[in-house]
Amino acid sequence: MASKTIYICSECGYKSLKWLGKCPGCSSWNTLVEQESEEITESKNNLRKSLLTRSTVDNEPAELSSSEIPDYLREKTGYAEFDRVLGGGIVNGSVVLISGEPGIGKSTLLLQICSSYMNEGNIMYVSGEESTSQISLRAKRLGIKGKGIYVLSETNTTKIIEHTKKLSPKLLIVDSIQTMYHTESNTIPGSVTQIRECASMYINFAKTTGIPVILVGHVTKEGSIAGPKVLEHMVDTVLYFEGDRSQGFRLIRAMKNRFGPTNEIGVFEMTDAGLKETPNPSALLLSDRPANVSGNCAVAIIEGTRPLVAEIQALVTPTVFPSPRRMSTGTDYNRLSLILAVLEKRLGLRFSTNDVYLNVVGGLRIEEPSSDAGTALALISSIRDIPVPEDLVCMGELGLSGEIRTVSRIEDRVAEAERLGFKKIVLPKRNVSLLHKVPKGITLLPVSNIFEMIKLFTNQEEK
């Protein structure tokens, strides 16, 4: 008699006796995976055993103000941008999950970190996708000698942990968690059960030995981490490797961090010799900015704790289609639609008869609403074919009534703009009172709504 099967959602763990296109638990499409019910019961027992056998250092209640609670120790990786994202370095006993698209540079970055981190002790680099010869070839291409770096091509989690305990390294890297399997489960590698059990074993190992673990995760075609959503809840830190493979910029963004700030970013540039740190990303993003061309506007944004000045480009051209095209790269498409609707309703600009293309230079993705005013300036500049002054930077959130709302950390944004040589700053009127000191040579252009902002172009036309 064939064993009964059950369908489990890879995102939220919802169970169903039959296959469904849309998960009732999290509303995700095509995420229900078929598994045998006996294996599910077995995997639960295995997971319960691994959790029950986990030993803890502090098994008695301790007051938060007590000096008996040990502080976490951090180790520098040798890459300041990576340390910035982690909150200052890798915490001993922590588990970091880093994911990204294929070919984005995850393995390259981790191998470079091994090269700079090996001065602290031995490093264990485990790969379930490549042979030791392939790893050695990449190391030679990157100029990494490999002394103190131990590589292992293995997918059996139990054997990996045994080898790691014998070596007792300062860092364990597993590439990738989707290729690992646990011998006590009969499911295939990459399944929900295997990923959850293997991750639990690595977390148990890190917490009991104090050796930090970095797990590499695959992503789905939607861009999320493949496997159960509980994987992101289990680990201490979740990092996303972003960037366009056709461009040189690579961004590491912290989406979760128990030991530091979230939404922090680290900026790298892909070169022939591997990934190179970019300590001044604003200057690099603005290096090829065109002069006296309409549709370009600089915006001051905040990414994590770092202020950045990015360039937004807009192109508005008469459409030849029955329905005009809207294309957005680097910004939210819905946000673009909202800004276009406000400009057309409040200013009477005819975007409905034009194709609109919006792009953030350098492959950067902007999610902060403080770029709304700069996006609106770029769109107005393009449709009226009037260039925005080269020394002008803009910041402010756009409301549905056309008002320009205040932004946070105004002093950091102004200081970054001054450092890059900007002389004019368009900012919300209420933010002026929050500035304790205006840098010398900076002209503030406070605006409270888009009606005042469009006067900037009226003055340009008169000149």
Plot region of 168 (φ>0 → left; ψ -120 to 50 → alpha; else → beta): left
| Torsion sign over Cα 107, 111, 116, 117 | positive
Copy the structure tokens of residue 186.
């009969």
Of 295, 300, 333, the C-alpha closest to 314 is: 295
DSSP character at residue 119:
G
Q: Which residues contact 442 (CB under 8 A, 6 or more apart)?
A: 414, 417, 418, 422, 423, 424, 425
Residue with tokens 């990738």: 176
Pick the CATH number of 283-462 from 3.30.230.10, 3.30.413.10, 3.10.20.600, 3.40.50.620: 3.30.230.10
61-65, 123-127, 189-193, 439-443 — most confident range: 123-127
* Contact in structure between 313 and 296 (CB atoms under 8 Å): yes
**CA 94 from centre of chain:** 19
What pLDDT, in 10s, does the model give residues 372-425? 999 999 999 999 999 999 999 999 999 999 999 999 999 999 999 999 999 999
% the chain with pLDDT above 70: 89
66-75, 80-89, 255-264 — most confident range: 80-89
Architecture of domain 73-279: 3-Layer(aba) Sandwich (3.40)
- Residue 107 identity: S
What pLDDT, in 10s, does the model give residues 256-273? 999 988 878 888 988 888
What pLDDT, in 10s, does the model give residues 298-324? 999 998 888 999 999 999 999 998 999
